[in-house]
Chains A and B, each alone.
Chain A
Amino acid sequence: MTIEIPKLAVPGMVLAPEYSGKIPSIEDLNEPETGKDCRCHFFAGPGTRLDNLELGKENSTSQIPTITATVLGQVCVFLRSDEENVEAKKSENREYVVIVVPFKNNKIEYEDSQVPHISKKDEAYLKGSSLPQEGDIVLVRVTRISQRQANVEVLAVEGRGNVGEESGVGSNGSGAIASGGGSGASSFINAIATSASLIAQRSDIGETFKGIIRSQDVQSTNRDKVQINKCFRPGDVLRAIVISLGDGSNYYMSTARNDLGVILAKSNGGAGNAMYAVDWQTMIDPTTGVIEERKCAKPFS
Chain B
Amino acid sequence: MTDRRRILGPLDASPLTFESESVISALEGEASSKFQLKKLHVSQPSSGDDKIFVDMGLVTNCEGSCYMEIDNTLIQVSVYGPRPIRGSFIDTATLSVECRFLPFLTESKEFANGNGRNSLTEIEQRLSSFVYSCFVNTIILSKYPKSSIDIFIKVISVDSYDTNFIKLTNYLVNCASLSIVDAQIEVKDIITAGYIPTSIVTSFTNLHLPNDKIVGLYISDDTDAEIDDEKVLSSMIMECNKKARDLRSSLNKYLIQLVK
Residues of A within 8 A of B (CB): 8, 10-12, 14, 47, 49, 51, 53-56, 68, 70-74, 102-104, 128-129, 131, 164-171, 173-178, 181-195, 198-210, 245-249
Among candidates A49, A165, A173, residue contacting B186 with C-beta atoms closer than 8 Å = A49
Q: Which of B9-17, B29-37, B44-52, B67-75 contacts A (4 or more CB under 8 A)?
A: B9-17
9 additional contacts, CB 8 Å, given A200-B85, A202-B83? A71-B185, A71-B186, A128-B143, A175-B61, A182-B3, A201-B86, A203-B85, A245-B146, A247-B89
A193 touching B97, Cβ below 8 Å:
yes
Contact yes or no, A11 B181, CB < 8 A: yes
Please give, as numbers and ranges, the residues of chain A lying within 8 Å of B12 by CB-CB distance: 174
- In whole Å, how far is B137's beta carbon from the nearest beta carbon of chain A? 11
Closest 10 CB pairs of A and B: A12-B189, A193-B132, A201-B87, A193-B128, A70-B186, A184-B80, A206-B5, A54-B211, A181-B3, A129-B143
Q: Are B7 and A184 in contact (CB under 8 A)?
A: no
Interface residues of B in 105-152 (CB under 8 A from A): 118-120, 125, 128-129, 131-133, 136, 140, 143-148, 150, 152
Contact residues in B for A10 (Cβ distance below 8 Å): 181, 190, 251-252, 255-256
A150: min CB distance to chain B, Å: 18
B260 interface residue (CB < 8 Å to A):
yes
Interface size class of B (residues with CB under 8 A): 35 or more
How far does the alpha carbon of A49 sit from the alpha carbon of B141 in the complex, in Å?
13
Q: B87 near A249 (CB under 8 angstroms)?
A: yes
Contact B188 A203 (CB under 8 A): no
- Indicate if the CB atoms of B7 and A131 lie closer than 8 Å: no
A183: which of B80, B87, B136 is its contact (CB, 8 Å)? B80
In Å, the complex CA distance between A56 and B210 comes to 8
Contacts across chains A and B counted by CB atoms under 8 Å: 217
Complex-state Cα separation, A171 to B83, whole angstroms: 14
B156 interface residue (CB < 8 Å to A): no
CA distance A128 to B82 in the complex (A): 13
Cα-based distance from A193 to B95 in the complex (angstroms): 8
B189-214 interface bits toward A, Cβ cutoff 8 Å, 1 = contact, 0 = none: 11000000000000001100111000
Is B2 at the interface (CB under 8 A from chain A)?
Answer: yes
Please measure, in the bound complex, the distance between the C-alpha atom of A57 and the C-alpha atom of B30, giving whole angstroms. Answer: 56
Closest Cβ–Cβ distance, residue A68 to chain B (whole Å): 7
The residue among A53, A129, A209 with the most chain B CB atoms within 10 A of its own CB is: A129
Question: By the criterion CB–CB under 8 Å, are A193 and B129 in contact?
Answer: yes
- Judged by a CB distance under 8 angstroms, whether B258 is at the interface is yes
Is B94 interfacial (CB-CB < 8 Å)?
yes
Contact B205 A194 (CB under 8 A): no
Q: Does B4 contact A (CB under 8 A)?
A: yes
A72 to B258, CA, bound (A): 9
Measured CA separation A184–B98 after assembly (Å)? 10
A70 engages B140 (CB within 8 Å): yes
Residue of A nearest to B78 (CB): A184
* B23 at interface, CB cutoff 8 A: no
Cβ–Cβ contact B62 & A74, under 8 A: no
User: In the complex, A262 Cα to B258 Cα: how many Å?
Assistant: 40
Of the candidates B62, B89, B97, B206, which one forms a contact with A192 in the assembled complex, judged by CB atoms under 8 Å apart?
Answer: B97
Chain A residues closer than 8 Å to B160, beta-carbon distance:
none
Chain A residues, Cβ within 8 Å of B259: 8, 72-74, 103
